C-alpha cells in the first residue's frame, strides 16, 4: 500500500513551488497571530536550509515520504524541532497540492511555448529559403492545386501559433490561488488571502473553496492542448512520411533522424515522423485518462486525483519531445525541388 500510495516520484518535481507555498504560508500564519515572530523566523530559516539541500541535490527522500508536502514538513521538523509542525496549521494537502500544481504549470507551460516557438522560427527560415520551390498540393491524397513549398510550411506555423495562443490563455486562466481553501471548506483562521496571493505571484484568489480544491478542469485543458499539438504535428508528419517514399521522392531525410536496414540498404525509415504520429495517439490516451479520472468521482477531493500529475506531466513532456524532434527532423532533411516540380 505504501508503494502504491506514494506520489513523491512525480510531485517531487514541484519542490520549488512547495517551498514557496510554505514560506508564504508561514508569513501569513504569523500575520494572523498564529505564529510568533521568533517561530516564523525559525521556520523560514529551516525552509531556506531545505532549499539549499534541494539546490545541491542533497535532499534525501525517505521511504515514508508519501508526497512532497509530507517530505517538506518531515524535514522541517527534523531541522528545527516541533515548531516545524506548526506550518500545517489551518491548511490541508488538498489546497496545498493544487496551489503547487498551478504555480508549477505557470512556470512549466512557458517552457513548452519556447520549444514551440523555436519550431515556428525554423519553419519560417525554411519557408524563406525555399520560396522558389513549387509542388502539388494534395486533397484526398490526390493531386490538387500547385503551391509553393513556403505556403505549405507556413500553414504549420499558423497552426502552431494558435497552439501558442491556447497555452497563453491557459496560463492566464490558471493564475488564481486555491491556498486558504483547506480540505474543502476553507480555514477557520483570519488569513489575508489577497496578500498571500500577491506574495506567491497569483493574479487572483479562488472564491469558492469547494470548487478550488475539487476542480481539475485545468488538468484536462492542458492535456487537451498537448494532445491538440500532437494531432497537428501528426498530420504534418504523415505528409513528410509520404514525401520520403521512393514513389514521392520529395524529401531526403537526414541520417540522424532516420534508420536504415542492414538487409535492405535501399531503405531509410522516417522514424522521427512516425514516432511523432504515434505519440499523438499516446497523448489522446492521456486526455481520455484525465477526463475519465474526473468523471468517476464526486465533486470534492478524492485520492483518485493524485493521478492528475502523472497524466499532465507526461502530456507536457510528450508534446515537448514531439516539437523538438519534429524541428530536428525538419532541420536535417533536404527538399528535392526537381522531383516536386516534375510531379
List residues near ligand ARG by CB under 6 A: 7, 11, 67, 93-94, 97, 303, 305-306
User: How far apart are CB 309 and ligand ARG at their closest, in Å?
Assistant: 6
116: which 3 cell numbers?
514551440
- Contacts of residue 258, defined as CB under 8 A and 6 or more positions apart, other chains included, come to 244, 268, 269, 270, 271, 272
CA nearest to 59, candidates 42, 78, 41, 40: 78
Q: Is 126 a catalytic residue?
A: no
Burial zone of 299 (CB within 10 Å; 0-12 exposed, 13-18 middle, 19+ buried): exposed
Say whether 146 sits in a helix, a strand or coil. Answer: strand
Looking at beta carbons only, is 33 or 298 nearer to ligand ARG?
A: 298
DSSP characters over 21-66: HHHHHHHHHHHTTSS-HHHHHHHHHHHHHHHHHHHTT-----TT--
69, 88, 126, 140: the catalytic one is: 140
Indicate the burial class of 234 (C-beta count within 10 angstroms; 0-12, 13-18, 19 or more).
buried
Q: How near is the Cβ of 306 to ligand ARG at its closest, in Å?
A: 4
Identity of the residue, 97 or 123, whose beta carbon is nearer to ligand ARG in the bound complex: 97
Q: How far is the CB of 83 from ligand ARG (least distance, A)?
A: 23
Q: Which of 7, 69, 92, 261 is catalytic?
A: 261
Q: Measured from the CB of residue 283, what is the shortest distance to ligand ARG in angstroms?
A: 22
Which one, 109 or 305, has the nearer CB to ligand ARG? Answer: 305
Q: Considering the complex, state which of residue 244 and residue 306 has its C-beta at the smaller distance from ligand ARG.
A: 306
Nearer to ligand ARG, 106 or 216 (CB): 216
Distance between CA 73 and CA 71 in Å, rounded?
A: 6
Smallest gap from residue 97 Cβ to ligand ARG (A): 4
CB-based burial of residue 336 (10 Å sphere; 0-12 exposed, 13-18 middle, 19+ buried)?
A: middle
DSSP class of 198: H
Catalytic positions, written as ranges: 140, 261
Amino acid at each position: 500500500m505504501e508503494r502504491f500510495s506514494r506520489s513523491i516520484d512525480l510531485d517531487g518535481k514541484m519542490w520549488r513551488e512547495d517551498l514557496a507555498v510554505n514560506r508564504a504560508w508561514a508569513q501569513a500564519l504569523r500575520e494572523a497571530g498564529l505564529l510568533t515572530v521568533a517561530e516564523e523566523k525559525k521556520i523560514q530559516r529551516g525552509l531556506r536550509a531545505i532549499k539549499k539541500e534541494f539546490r545541491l541535490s542533497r535532499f534525501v527522500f525517505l521511504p515514508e515520504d508519501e508526497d512532497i508536502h509530507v517530505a517538506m514538513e518531515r524535514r522541517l521538523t527534523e531541522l528545527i524541532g516541533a515548531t516545524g509542525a506548526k506550518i500545517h496549521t489551518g491548511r490541508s494537502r488538498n489546497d496545498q497540492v493544487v496551489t503547487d500544481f498551478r504555480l508549477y504549470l505557470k512556470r512549466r507551460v512557458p517552457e513548452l511555448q519556447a520549444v514551440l516557438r523555436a519550431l515556428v522560427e525554423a519553419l519560417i527560415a525554411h519557408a524563406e529559403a525555399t520560396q522558389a520551390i513549387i509542388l502539388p498540393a494534395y486533397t484526398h491524397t490526390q493531386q490538387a492545386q500547385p503551391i509553393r513549398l513556403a505556403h505549405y510550411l507556413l500553414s504549420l506555423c499558423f497552426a502552431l501559433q494558435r497552439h501558442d495562443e491556447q497555452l497563453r490563455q491557459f496560463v492566464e486562466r490558471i493564475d488564481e490561488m486555491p491556498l486558504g481553501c483547506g480540505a474543502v471548506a476553507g480555514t477557520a483562521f483570519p488569513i489575508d488571502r489577497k496578500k498571500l496571493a500577491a506574495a506567491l505571484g497569483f493574479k487572483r484568489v479562488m472564491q469558492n473553496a469547494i470548487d478550488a480544491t475539487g476542480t481539475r478542469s485545468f488538468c484536462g485543458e492542458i492535456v487537451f492542448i498537448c494532445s491538440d499539438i500532437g494531432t497537428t504535428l501528426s498530420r504534418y508528419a504523415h505528409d513528410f512520411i509520404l514525401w520520403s517514399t521512393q514513389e514521392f521522392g520529395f524529401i531526403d531525410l537526414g541520417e540522424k533522424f532516420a534508420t536504415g536496414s542492414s538487409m535492405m540498404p535501399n531503405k531509410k525509415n522516417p522514424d522521427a515522423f512516425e514516432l511523432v504520429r504515434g505519440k499523438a495517439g499516446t497523448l489522446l490516451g492521456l486526455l481520455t485518462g484525465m477526463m475519465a479520472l474526473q468523471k468517476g468521482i464526486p465533486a470534492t477531493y478524492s485520492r483518485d486525483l493524485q493521478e492528475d500529475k502523472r497524466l499532465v506531466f507526461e502530456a507536457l513532456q510528450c508534446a515537448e519531445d514531439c516539437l523538438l524532434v519534429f524541428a530536428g527532423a525538419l532541420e536535417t532533411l533536404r527538399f528535392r525541388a526537381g522531383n516536386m516540380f516534375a510531379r
